[in-house]
Structure 1
Amino acid sequence: MKKTAYLLFAALLMLPHMMEAKRKPDWVKQRPNDPAYYIGISMMPKDGSTVEYKQAARNNALKQLSSEIKVTVSSNSVLNKIETNYQFVENYESKVETSVLETLEGYEVSTWENKKEYWVMVKLSKERYARIQQMKLDKAKMLASAFLSDAKKAIAINDAFSALNYLAKATTSLKDHLESDLTYKTVDGKYNVGTEVFSTIQDVFRRIELLPVQSSYSIQFSKQLTVPIGVNAFFLSDTGEKVPLTGFPLSFEFTKGESVLASQAKTNLDGYAGVSITRLISKRKTQEITSTFDFSSVMDNENEEVKHLLEIFFPDKQMPSTFIAIEVQKSKAYLITEENVFGELDDHGAFSNMIKTQLNNNFFTFTTNMDDSDFVVKVNSKFVAGDSRKGDGYEVFLVFAEFSISIYDTKSQTEIFADQLSGIRGMRPGNFEYALKDSRLKLMEQFEKKIEPRLEQVDM
C-alpha cells in the first residue's frame, strides 16, 4: 500500500513536466528543415525584464534567419561593369549583408515559453522574400531611369548642372541594389540603367570645357591685396556648338601654396565665374589654383554612405578642371653658403646648390649684389664620415649630416629667422660617397618637412 502511494506521489510530481513536454512544439525539440523558408530560432533564459529577454530572443532569431539569405553579386551588376574602388566594393558587399536584417519584412513569428526559457521562431517564405526584393529593385530601376531621362532632357538644352543633379539622384536611387542585375526594359529595348547613368555622367564631363581668363598671374607678396581670378565655362551641345555654360557651380582652391580666396562661384549668363585672392599666406614662389566642378553642390545633406557612392560615379580624375599658375614676386636675397665635406670646405658643394634651388623656387630671388638685397641668407652644412659595418658579403658605410640657416634683414640689421638640423644619417653599401649622397637627400627631406613650414610664417 505504501509503495502504491509513493508511486502515485512520484507520478503527480512528474505530471507538470510530462504536460510541458507534450505542449512543447516540434520546432523547439528539433530545428525544422523546410526548403521553402528561411528560419531563425532563438532561446533566452528568463533573466531581467520581460521586455528585454523577449526582444533579445526575437533579435537573435532574426539575425539567424538573415544569415541564411545569401547575397550574390550579379555578373550584370554595376559593380562589375564600371571601374570602382576595391575598398568601396568590399565595404558595400559587407553592408548589403548586414542591411538584410534591417529590411526584413513579411516574416511569421512563433513563440513558446516555460518558467525558465523563452523561445522564438521566425519564418520567412523564400518565394515571398524574392518577390518583395524584386518589387523594390523594379521600383529603384524605374526611378533611376526617370531621373536619367530628365538628365538627357537637360543635356539637350545645354543645362549641365541640372543634368548632373538628376544623374546624382539616379545614382542614389540605385544605392541599395548595386549588386543586382540593373537591366531595365523599355519600349525601345533594354539597357543596364547603372552603367547608362555612369556613362552619361562621363559624357557630360567630356562636354564641359573650363578656360582661365589668364593662365598665370604675377603677384607681389602682401598681407592685403585683391587679385580677381576668372574662369570661363563652355558646353559642347548636341549640334557640336560650344556654348557658354550658365549657372554652373565651380570650386576654387590652392592646390600648391596657400591663400585666402572665395572657394565657390557660379557662372553667369556668359559662362564666367570669378573669385578674388584677398591674402597670400604661403610665400612659395610658384603656386597653383585649381578650378573644377563644385561636387559638393550635388552632395548637400547626404550621409557618408551616399557620398562614397557618388564619389564612385563622379570620379575626381574625370571632373572638368583647369589650372591657374600664381608666380609670387619674392624679396631679393644675398646667399652665403659654407659646406664642409669630410673635413674640407667645398666652394661648390652639391648640397649648397640643392638648398639654393629650393629657396629660390619657394622663397627668394637671389642677387649677386648684397647692397641690392632685402635679406642675407647664411647656410652651413657639414657632412662627417662615420664608421663602416661589415655584413655577410657586403659593407655598409655611414655619413652624418648637420645643417643651419639664418636670415638677416639688411635694413634693420637684425636676425629674423634661425633654425638647424642635426643627427641626420646617410647609409649605403659600397663606399662613403654613396652614403654621402644618401645623407644629402635625407637632409633635404628634413629641411622640407621641418624648416620650410616655419619659413612660410616669416614676414619676408
Structure 2
Amino acid sequence: MKKIAYILFLLILSVSCGKQKIVISSLPDLSQKEPDRPDWLKNRPSGNYDYIGIGAASKIRNPDDYTHVAKNNALSDLSSEISVTVRSNSFLYVLDRNYKFDEEFTQGIQTFSDQNLEGFQFMDSWETEFEYWVFYKLDKALYKENFESRRKESINLSYDLFQKGKEQKDLGDIGGALQMFTKGLATLKEFWGESNSVSAEDGEIFLENEILFELQSMMNDISILPSDDKVILSLYNDYKSNFELNISHKNKPLKNAKATFAFKGERSTVEHDFISNENGKAYVEVRNVRKDDRSNALEVGLDLEYWLDNASQIEKEILKIVRPKQLSIPIILEKPTFFIKSTEINLGIEMGTALISNVIKNGLTQKEFKLTNNLNEADLILQLNASTEKAGTSYSFYVAHCDMEMKVLNNQGNVVYQNALHDVKGLNMDFEQAGIKALSNVAEKVKRNMLKDMINSVL
C-alpha cells in the first residue's frame, strides 16, 4: 500500500508539472510508515465563522522553499472563499457598463489580493518525506472589521484629494487638478466594487462617480483649435508648414499642456510633441510628408500623463477613459503646375512627335501634376532641348548620337532642377531611323531614372 501511495503521489506531481522534468536522485525509504493525515485534510473544516485556506507543496519540486509555496497556496485558497460583489451603484459597475475599460484589468480589480488578508492565523501543518501541507483560517468578523477600517480610511483620503482637485481646477491649474482626481480614484481601487458614499454640502454623493464626473467635465472643457482647417504644403511655402494650435480651458489659454502630433512621413510615421506656452499655443513643423498619400493627416492630441508625477498603472488606465477629443487635420500637398517647352531635333529636322517630352508629360500626369499651355498659369517651367547627329556606322548599322539637356525653373527664373545626357547611341538601318532610336533611348533613360529625381527635387 505504501508503494502504491508513493506512485500515486508521483503521478499527481507529474500531471501538475506538465512538461517540466523532475529528477529524483534516490528512491525514498518506503519502509517508513506515512504519518496519519489530520482531520482537516480528510474533511475540509466548516467555514461558518472562518474563511479556510489549505495549501500544499512538493518537497521534490520546491526543496528550498516548500513552506513558502504551501503558505501562498493556502492564502490563495483562503482568498477564493471571499466573494466580491459588484454593487449596482459602484464605480466598477459604471466602468463595466459605460466605458471600454480593459476586461482583464477590471477582473483584476475584483480579484481579492492576498496582501490584504490581515489577521489570518496559522492552524496546523502536516508533512511527509515528499509533501508539505499547511492550514490557515481567517475570522470572518475580523476580516469585515479590517476591510471596513481600510475602506473608511481610503474614502477619507480620496475625498480630501477630490476637494484639492476642485480647488486646483478653480485656480486654472488643470494639471494639478488632474493629478488630484486620478490619485483620488486610484486610492479607492480596492473598494471600487463597493458603494462608497460620503456626505457633502449638496447631500450624499457616490465618491468615485463624482470624481469621474468632475474629471470628465474638466477634459470636455479643454479645446484644441487649429489655426486652419487643413495643412497646406506647396511650392510657395517650400512644402513645409509651421502649424499652430491654440489650447484652452473654458476659453482661457492653457499653458504647460503637452500636445502630441503625428503624420505619415516619407519613410515612417513622424511624431512630435510640444509644450504649450503662456498663450496656450503649440507648434509643429510639418514637412517631408508621404507624397502619394491622399489620406495623410496631422493627428493631434494631448498627453495627459505629462501632468502626472510617476503615474501608476491604475492612473494610466483611468486616463484612457477621460482623454479629450483628438483632432485629425487633413494634409494637402499641392503639386505644382508645369509648362513644358520642348525642342527635339533629329539630324537637323524638328520631330513631329516629341518622344522625350511625351514621356515626361505622361509621368507627371500619373503623379497627379497639372500641365498647362499658358505660361502665366504655370508654377514651374520645364525646358528640354534634344538633338541628334550622325556618328558613323558599326557592323553595317548606321549610328546616331543624341544629346539632351533639361532644366526646371520657378517663376523667379531660378533653376530648381537640371540634368543632361550625352552621346546616347541609336542604331538602325539608316541615319534617320538611328536618330529616332537615339531619341527613344533618351526617353527611356528619362523615364527610368531622371523623371523620379526631377519630381523629388520639386516637392
TM-score range, shorter chain: 0.5 to 0.7
TM-aligned CA distance change 1:257 to 1:79, over 3 Å = farther
Residue 368 of structure 1 deviates from its aligned partner by 7.2
Which residue among 291, 297, 301 is the counterpart of 1:292? Answer: 301
1:331 touches 1:374 (CA, 8 Å); kept in 2?
A: no
Contact 2:232 2:241 in 1 (8 A): no
| Alpha-carbon distance in 2 for matches of 1:103, 1:219 | 59
1:144-293 matches, cutoff 5 A: 144-186=158-200, 189-220=203-234, 226-236=240-250, 242-254=251-263, 263-285=272-294, 287-293=296-302
Tell me the percent identity. 23
Cα distance in 2 between the residues matched to 1:45 and 1:93: 33
Secondary structure at the aligned position of 1:414 is classed as helix
Contact 1:77 1:178 in 2 (8 A): yes
* Structure 1 partner of 2:157: 143
- Structure 1: how far apart are the matches of 2:267 and 2:178? 30
The residue number in structure 1 matching 2:447 is: 414
Give secondary structure in 1 for the equivalent of 2:190: coil
Equivalent pair of 1:171/1:310 in contact (CA under 8 Å): no
Partners of 2:108 and 2:272 in 1: how far apart? 34
Give the corresponding residue for 1:436: none
After superposition, the Cα gap between the structure-2 partners of 1:214 and 1:70, relative to the gap in structure 1 and judged at 3 Å, is same
CA contact (8 A) 1:245 1:269 kept: yes
- Matched letter for residue 194 of structure 1: E
Corresponding letter in the other structure for 1:365: F
Calculate the TM-score normalised by the size of structure 1.
0.61
Cα distance in 2 for residues equivalent to 1:80 and 1:87: 11
What is the identity, as a one-letter code, of the residue corresponding to 1:147?
Answer: L
- Partner SS for 1:250: strand
The aligned counterpart of 1:396 is: none
Local SS of the residue matching 1:214:
coil
Q: CA deviation at 1:216?
A: 2.8
- CA drift at 1:77: 0.9
Aligned 8 A contact 1:285 1:330 in 2: no
Deviations 1:17-50 (A, max 9, x none): 89x66xx754345322141100012345654666
Whether the 8 Å CA contact 2:262–2:269 is kept in 1: the answer is no
Task: Tell whether the 8 Å contact from 1:218 to 1:329 is kept in structure 2 after alignment.
Answer: yes
Task: State the distance in 2 between where 1:284 and 1:203 align.
Answer: 37
Ranges in structure 2 where 5+ consecutive residues have no aligned partner: 1-31, 340-363, 383-440
In structure 1, the residue matched to 2:334 is 329
Equivalences for 1:7-406 in 2 at 5 Å?
26-44=39-57, 46-47=59-60, 51-82=64-95, 83-85=97-99, 88=102, 90-96=103-109, 98-113=111-126, 115-116=128-129, 118-186=132-200, 189-220=203-234, 226-236=240-250, 242-254=251-263, 263-285=272-294, 287-298=296-307, 301-302=310-311, 304=313, 306-312=315-321, 314-315=322-323, 319-330=324-335, 363-367=367-371
Q: Within 2, Cα distance between the matches of 1:48 and 1:259?
A: 50
Q: Residues 49, 87 of structure 1: CA spacing in aligned structure 2 closer, same or farther, 3 A cutoff? A: closer
Give the length in aligned residue pairs: 338
SS of corresponding position for 2:189: coil
1:426 paired residue number:
none
Rounded to whole Å, the distance in 1 between the matches of 2:185 and 2:266 is: 35
Asked whether the 8 Å contact 1:260–1:278 carries over to 2, the reply is no
Give a deviation string over 1:401-421, Cα, whole Å, max 9, x none: xxxxxxx99896222599xxx
Corresponding residue SS for 2:448: strand
**Structure-2 residue corresponding to 1:438:** none
Question: Hey, what's the Cα distance between the residues in 2 that align with 1:233 and 1:416?
Answer: 46
* Letter of the structure 2 residue corresponding to residue 307 of structure 1: K
CA distance in 2, matches of 1:189, 1:95: 32
- How far apart, CA to CA, are the structure 2 residues paired with 1:183 and 1:409? 83
Report the residue type matching 1:415 in the other structure: R
- Report if the CA contact (8 A) 1:256-1:289 is conserved: no
Change (3 A) 1:135 1:279: farther
SS at match of 1:413: helix
CA contact (8 A) 2:50 2:138 kept: yes
Cα distance in 1 for partners of 2:338, 2:240 equals 26
- The range that moved more, 249-258 or 197-206, is 249-258
SS at match of 2:211: helix
Following the alignment from structure 1 to structure 2, what is the Cα–Cα distance between the partners of residues 299 and 218? 35
> Structure 1, residues 40-81: CA drift from partner, whole Å, max 9, x if none?
123456546664332232222222211111111111111323
Quote the Cα distance in structure 2 between the aligned partners of 1:53 and 1:132.
29
Shift of 1:212: 1.6
Question: What RMSD, in angstroms, separates the aligned Cα atoms of the two structures?
Answer: 4.2
Give, in angstroms, the shift of residue 366 of structure 1.
Answer: 4.2
Aligned to 2:135, the other structure's residue is in SS state strand
Where in structure 1 are there 5+ consecutive unaligned residues?
1-15, 237-241, 335-358, 376-407, 419-455
Q: Is the 8 A contact 1:231 1:273 kept in 2?
A: yes
